[in-house]
């Protein structure tokens, strides 16, 4: 019997956080949604108002035997600017802040060790500011946000480039997402 686990990552607009995980082995689902706030079942409009305390995030259901949590964290770093606490790329504010939300003590330890390795790597000249926080309830976003990169591929590509994300990831991580 496969024991699936969940990982929750926030790295700016959730549209751009789905594809890098969705295409990996051992991933059962990637859901766009909201977490970290105080409003139950928030809407996109409520979250982007900045009054709910929520952050756009993705909830990944995965098989740790095929895709270890440590590898998910490494993929996460390579989708973000871990030196920018004020949002990600063109998306500014707390609802776009970079956060690793841990679901267990084991995930917390692994995420913190990974952040320490990144800090010590010298890849960035400024401090790594991505938060590592205990997971709170996760609320799936509206249907039109799910699998956006598949349903609206042209819009997704324009946004990924236009927001500055694609250029940053290419420069710092060698990504071509």
- Enzyme catalytic residues: 13
Q: Which residues pair with 83 in a beta bridge?
A: none
In 3D, which of 81, 83, 64, 88 has the Cα closest to residue 7?
Answer: 64
Asked whether the beta carbons of 15 and 33 are under 8 A apart, the reply is no
SS3 7: strand
Cα–Cα dist 75/72, whole Å? 5
Asked whether the beta carbons of 126 and 83 are under 8 A apart, the reply is yes
Helical packing angle, 153-162 and 165-173, nearest 10°: 70
């Amino acid at each position: 019997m496969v024991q699936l686990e969940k990982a929750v990552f926030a790295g700016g607009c959730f549209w751009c956080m789905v594809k890098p995980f969705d295409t990996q082995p051992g991933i059962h689902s990637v859901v766009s949604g909201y977490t970290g706030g105080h409003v139950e079942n928030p809407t996109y409009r409520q979250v982007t108002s900045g009054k709910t305390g929520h952050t756009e995030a993705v909830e990944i259901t995965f098989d740790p035997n095929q895709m270890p949590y440590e590898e998910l964290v490494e993929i996460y770093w390579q989708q973000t600017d871990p030196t920018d606490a004020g949002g990600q790329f063109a998306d500014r504010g707390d609802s776009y802040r970079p956060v690793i939300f841990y679901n267990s003590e084991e995930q917390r330890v692994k995420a913190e060790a990974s952040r320490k390795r990144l800090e010590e790597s010298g890849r960035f000249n400024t401090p790594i500011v991505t938060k590592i926080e205990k997971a709170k309830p996760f609320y799936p976003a509206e249907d039109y946000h799910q699998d956006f990169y598949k349903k609206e591929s042209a819009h997704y590509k324009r946004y990924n480039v236009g927001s500055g994300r694609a250029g940053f990831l290419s420069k710092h991580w060698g990504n071509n997402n």
